[in-house]
Amino acid sequence: MELTSLTIHELSERLSRKEVSAVEVTKAFLGRIGEVDGKTRAYITVTAEAALEAAERADGMLARKDDVTPMTGIPVSVKDIFCTRGIRTTCASKILGNFIPPYDSTVVKKLKGSGAVLLGKTNMDEFAMGSSTENSAFFKTLNPWAPDRVPGGSSGGSAAAMAASECAASVGTDTGGSIRQPAACCGVVGLKPTYGRVSRFGMVAFASSLDQAGPFTRDVTDAAIMLKVMAGHDPLDSTSVNMEVPDYRSFLAAGCKGLKVGIPKEYFIEGMDPDVEKAVRDALDVLKGAGAELVPVSLPHTEYAVAVYYLVATAEASSNLARYDGVKYGLRVNEAGNLLDMYKKTRDSGFGGEVKRRIMLGTYSLSAGYYEAYYKKASQVRTLVRDDFSAAFKTCDVIATPTAPTAAFRLGEKIEDPLTMYLSDIFTISCNLAGIPGISVPCGLILGWKVDEGTVLRTAYAYEQATEWHKRRPAI
């Protein structure tokens, strides 16, 4: 098998047995990017030189057996939402088109500290707003399985880079589904950890009470490896969870015999693609075959989740994005008569259509007279959504659902109709509102209670062991 198709744990074994060097592995991935990225357009920035230097350092660590981790010498990409010192960080927006951060985000710092090699920054929907990566201000990313289809979004560049073997792992963010939905569209594993499990420091803010970083990987073992490196308390993020990070791989072998898997009736709805429903039902049979007990559960407030999300997320976005005013950093349109005019012109030419729509929606629902009716009401219903999960997890260990109502859709199919686009996240959004962890594996979504990533990974692993999906690669 090609080096670029291997998992982290397979590469790591070869690196530690000295069958291959980190420089060779990195060169293989850079070669692959050169070969296929013109077709997928997964990357906004490729940092070849810095990657080769990091690979040389990793080879030194491996030779000295010095601070070696399972990530040492492993080439990864990160969504262009994570600040990278000295490397352009655009959030796929014109307003940050030339922004070069003076510091690394905590996630990037931790990855570098583990010896991982950063290959570059992946494409996304502008400010992570979207489900198809078509909202990038720069270009569209194509699905490596079918070039007429979207890779999902907003972390579509990361998912496409994974499917096309342009990195061994990637890091995305998930505010309403942006890791899990593109993972499903591209046939890879995507994990959204518990809110606060991974530091948000240096991650460009969209909706701060929902945003969470997580890994894209080829299999569940790799997701456990990546989460171990990424997770942990960070004094620079006051919402980060102050709890010890377990060795997530130690959960995997337990299997799912006797585990109670909740099946929420509200997630098997009309309008769902029959092929998706069949694939998910087949996956549930696999779990049952592996010894899990399927139990019906109810999450009665599911139908309000999309509405609640689009009030809460837009409100938070409107306040987070107020910082892009042409004064502190990023784009400034200079041909303005006065300060107010400069703000207006900068924001008008710097933000794309979807971002403007969200800012307006959010500003509206926060304004005097509407706050009580919209934002406050949404926050109250959000508590009901969270309470649904807390009640359901009293009768089951994990919950299994579809990740998205359809498979990857065609480019252009939903972009003119924001409401249809928003409905792509119908199954992923509640998890963010409740702050719980969820993993998407081909094919289906498994949710767990707070900080119980261990059981989520264990169930996903048991499923993966009984299937072959994670071994498939597209021919591009």
The mark string for 189-218 relative to ligand GLN (x by CB under 6 A, - otherwise) is: -----------------x------------
Q: Of 154 and 194, which CB lies nearer to ligand GLN in the complex structure?
A: 154
> With binding defined as CB under 6 A, does residue 286 bind ligand GLN?
no
> With binding defined as CB under 6 A, does residue 129 bind ligand GLN?
yes
CA atoms within 13 A on the CB side of 388: 26
* φ/ψ (deg, to 5) at 364: -60, -50
Residues 311-340 that bind ligand GLN (CB under 6 A): 313
The verdict on whether 178 is a catalytic residue reads yes
Q: Which of 158, 178, 240, 430 is catalytic?
A: 178
* SS3 letters across 256-319: CCCCEEEEEHHHCCCCCCHHHHHHHHHHHHHHHHCCCEEEEECCCCHHHHHHHHHHHHHHHHHH
> With binding defined as CB under 6 A, does residue 131 bind ligand GLN?
yes
Residues 398-427 that bind ligand GLN (CB under 6 A): 425
Question: How many residues lie near ligand GLN (CB under 6 A)?
Answer: 14
Q: Of 179 and 299, which CB lies nearer to ligand GLN in the complex structure?
A: 179
Q: Of 130 and 215, which CB lies nearer to ligand GLN in the complex structure?
A: 130
With CA atoms as reference, report the closest residue to 392 among 266, 212, 210, 251: 266
Q: Of 106 and 133, which CB lies nearer to ligand GLN in the complex structure?
A: 133
Q: Of 154 and 459, which CB lies nearer to ligand GLN in the complex structure?
A: 154
User: Which tokens sit at 306?
Assistant: 């999309």
> With binding defined as CB under 6 A, does residue 157 bind ligand GLN?
no
Q: What residues contact residue 49 under an 8 Å CB cut-off, 6+ apart? A: none
> With binding defined as CB under 6 A, does residue 177 bind ligand GLN?
yes
Minimum distance from CB of 20 to ligand GLN (Å)? 36
Structural element, H or E, at residue 228 = helix 220-230
Q: Of 57 and 386, which CB lies nearer to ligand GLN in the complex structure?
A: 386
- Label residue 66 exposed, middle or buried (CB < 10 Å: 0-12, 13-18, 19+): exposed
Q: Which of 12, 21, 77, 79 is catalytic?
A: 79
Q: Which of 26, 154, 165, 320 binds ligand GLN (CB under 6 A)?
A: 154
| Cβ 200 vs Cβ 176: under 8 Å | no
The Cα 8–Cα 15 span in angstroms is 10
Q: Of 36 and 161, which CB lies nearer to ligand GLN in the complex structure?
A: 161
Q: Of 128 and 447, which CB lies nearer to ligand GLN in the complex structure?
A: 128
The verdict on whether 79 is a catalytic residue reads yes
The Cα 461–Cα 453 span in angstroms is 12
| Cβ 428 vs Cβ 152: under 8 Å | no
With CA atoms as reference, report the closest residue to 183 among 166, 198, 171, 200: 171
Residue 128 per-residue DSSP state: G
The window from 46-54, 168-176, 183-191, 433-441 that contacts ligand GLN (CB under 6 A) reads 168-176
Strands 169-173 and 213-217 come out as: antiparallel
The verdict on whether 440 is a catalytic residue reads no
The window from 129-137, 160-168, 246-254, 363-371 that contacts ligand GLN (CB under 6 A) reads 129-137
Rg of the Cα trace of the chain? 21
With CA atoms as reference, report the closest residue to 321 among 295, 374, 357, 282: 357
User: Which tokens sit at 32?
Assistant: 């692959």
The window from 157-165, 174-182, 213-221, 369-377 that contacts ligand GLN (CB under 6 A) reads 174-182
Minimum distance from CB of 210 to ligand GLN (Å)? 8
The mark string for 32-71 relative to ligand GLN (x by CB under 6 A, - otherwise) is: ----------------------------------------
Residues 422-451 that bind ligand GLN (CB under 6 A): 425
Residues 254-283 that bind ligand GLN (CB under 6 A): none
Q: Of 158 and 175, which CB lies nearer to ligand GLN in the complex structure?
A: 175
Minimum distance from CB of 207 to ligand GLN (Å)? 8
Q: Which of 136, 154, 318, 440 is catalytic?
A: 154
Distances in whole angstroms, Cα of residue 288 to Cα of each of 281, 292, 342, 463, 472:
11, 5, 61, 9, 23
| Cβ 463 vs Cβ 280: under 8 Å | no
> With binding defined as CB under 6 A, does residue 171 bind ligand GLN?
no
The window from 38-46, 170-178, 182-190, 278-286 that contacts ligand GLN (CB under 6 A) reads 170-178
Strands 75-79 and 169-173 come out as: parallel
Residues with a known catalytic role: 79, 154, 178
Interface contacts to ligand GLN, rule CB under 6 A: 128-131, 154, 173-178, 206, 313, 425
